[in-house]
Amino acid sequence: MFKKILIANRGEIAVRIIRACKELGIKTVAVYSEADEHSLYTALADECYSIGEAPASKSYLNYEKILKIAEKTGADGIHPGYGFLSENSKFADECNKRNIEFIGPPIRAIELMGSKINAKKTMKKAGVPVLPGREEPIEDEGEAAKIAKEIGYPVIIKASAGGGGIGMSVANDESELIDTIQSTKSIAQSAFGDSTIFIEKYLEKPRHIEIQILADKHGNVIHLGDRECSIQRRHQKVIEEAPSPIMTPELREKMGEAAKIAAKCIDYYSAGTVEFLYNGGEFYFLEMNTRVQVEHPITEIITGVDIVKEQIKIAYGNKLPYEQKDITFKGHAIECRINAEDSVNDFIPSPGKIKHYRSPGGPGIRIDSGVYGGAEIPPYYDSMIAKLITFGKNRDEAIVRMKRALSEYMIFGIISNIPFHKSVLEEQDFLSGELSTHYIAEHEQVLHQKTLDYAVEIAYEEKRFIEKVFRDDKKTVAIVGGLNAYITNLKNKDKKQYCPKEND
């Protein structure tokens, strides 16, 4: 087994990898930017080293610095986590050149799946269902108009090198098509340095369902079931659950087999996720993420498989200890991404110092986090505070536990999106499992009002809690003052009169 692994990442995923390494008896090396010097993961790692200034381009994306530290510390493996360098084939290649194992898939797989056009061509050839469209770059606007007419409007124009929802635009008719092509090309060039775009049929109300796979270096591939990831804001996932509310054993077998074919046709190994759009009883390949996913814990909970540990063991050359028949699914799990953002003000980021932190607990609760009371949420990176995961014997119990956990969660000093999560968990279509990737947009008005109501309610609850816990402490004055100002702003934002009993 590896003797020492360098973690080329930060935050909660760095903590998650350190925990897996500790259980495997592997020493860990953390790297940090100036903004992360006092982060939790740096305290948990066996060694830690500075890699530069706060901006990611000068630290977490500077793989030469990271590789020098790996060589200096004698690390024989590098785990990239997710984001940053996790799907960077050049970084993986440099690791290999220096005899350091990149804990991820082969370089060819990263490159193939990194291009949406090449990925779609590969999947179509392998017999994996793909969306109607053209697997070639758009070179001529007239040809694009002809294709759009053949497959039917609306159509979506996508950047081949895109990711994170960037470089995707919908054209509802021919009058919108030319402008959409030109604007998407411009965005693609600016964001990815590659203006290559292509055209597909646009599904108006699809569900986003993904299949987790594990594959070893000996040709063995299994899937770990499905996750529902339809609740998205600006193409970014917010709430995920496993299994999907609409999943049947028959559909899971079909999607699971398609995901395994996708992995085998590119000689894949490591953990990975094959994402599909599901609509009207049919599913279509969307993309493959060649890394561990943010939402992997919900799959771990319902299968009992430690995905990060298996990923490390696969990289070392171990065979998978499971066959497909060994994988069973128990209960239901939900994940809410707790972010430092103001959900009543268009989800603007809310970086700052966490003055007091109380996380929930009890039966069926798991928290993957990289913060603590006194920690900073820097403005330079993703605003995630924690992943709150609940488990129940069925979906209803998982939802009830999530409601309880959200009501216990208190984060003082910064604004979080907890009010938004509470509003979703009360909404009828969510409760009945009627979801699509347009869920938030379609329920915007009711969710906004409920979020505002919960923001006020939570602020009063936090105020009472702080006053009881800290009493006359100086910290009380500062936190309560901030909460009072926040409550006033919320009241001014909405004309509804709130009459809480402040002296209760």
Residue entry with tokens 């692994």: 5
Q: Which domain holds residue 374?
A: 207-443
Both 314 and 353 in one domain: the answer is: yes
CATH of the domain at 165: 3.30.1490.20
Both 217 and 154 in one domain: the answer is: no
pLDDT digits 0-9 by tens, 281-304: 999 999 999 999 999 999 999 999
Mean pLDDT, the chain, rounded, equals: 93
Over range 22-46, report the average pLDDT. 98
* Bigger pLDDT: 358 vs 474: 358
Residue 480's pLDDT band (boundaries 50, 70, 90)? Answer: confident
pLDDT higher than threshold 90 for residue 366: yes
CATH of the domain at 344: 3.30.470.20
Both 307 and 160 in one domain: the answer is: no
Q: Are strands 221-233 and 236-242 parallel, antiparallel or unpaired?
A: antiparallel
Q: How far apart are CA 476 and CA 148, in angstroms?
A: 61
**Is residue 123 situated within a structural domain?**
no
**Is residue 253 situated within a structural domain?**
yes
* pLDDT value of position 49: 98
CATH of the domain at 69: 3.40.50.20
Both 265 and 364 in one domain: the answer is: yes
- Which amino acid is it at 84? F
Instruction: List, edge to edge, every strand of the sheet that includes 77-79.
Output: 47-50, 27-32, 4-7, 77-79, 101-102
Over range 419-434, report the average pLDDT. 97
Q: How far apart are CA 410 and CA 419, in angstroms?
A: 11
Over range 325-336, report the average pLDDT. 98
Of 443, 459, 484, which residue is a domain's last?
Answer: 443
**Is residue 84 situated within a structural domain?**
yes
* pLDDT value of position 463: 81
**Is residue 394 situated within a structural domain?**
yes
Number of domains into which the chain is organized:
4
Q: Residue 402 corresponds to which tokens in the numbers above?
A: 């999530």
pLDDT higher than threshold 50 for residue 498: no
* pLDDT value of position 164: 66
* pLDDT value of position 494: 62
**Is residue 300 situated within a structural domain?**
yes
Both 393 and 314 in one domain: the answer is: yes
Selected catalytic residue, list 291, 366, 401, 404: 291
Both 352 and 272 in one domain: the answer is: yes
**Is residue 120 situated within a structural domain?**
no
Both 363 and 223 in one domain: the answer is: yes
Please answer whether residues 385 and 377 qualify as being in contact, where contact means their C-beta atoms are separated by less than 8 angstroms: yes
Q: Residue 85 corresponds to which tokens in the numbers above?
A: 């360098």
Of 183, 201, 219, which residue is a domain's last?
Answer: 201
Both 267 and 408 in one domain: the answer is: yes
**Is residue 122 situated within a structural domain?**
no
Both 351 and 246 in one domain: the answer is: yes
Both 68 and 136 in one domain: the answer is: no
- Does 291 participate in catalysis according to the annotation? yes
DSSP per-residue letters across 353-421: E-SEEE---STTEEEEE---TT-EE-TTS--EEEEEEEEESSHHHHHHHHHHHHHH-EEESS--SHHHH
pLDDT higher than threshold 50 for residue 232: yes
Q: What is the CA radius of gyration of the chain?
A: 23
Both 356 and 481 in one domain: the answer is: no
Return the ∠ at Cα 436 (arms to 433 and 438), rounded to 5°: 135
Both 334 and 438 in one domain: the answer is: yes
Instruction: Output the 3-class SS for 329-361.
Output: CCCEEEEEEEECEECCCCCEECCEECCEEECCC
* pLDDT value of position 444: 94
pLDDT digits 0-9 by tens, 73-113: 999 999 999 999 999 999 999 999 999 999 999 999 999 99
Cα four-point dihedral sign 366, 370, 375, 381? negative
**Is residue 181 situated within a structural domain?**
yes
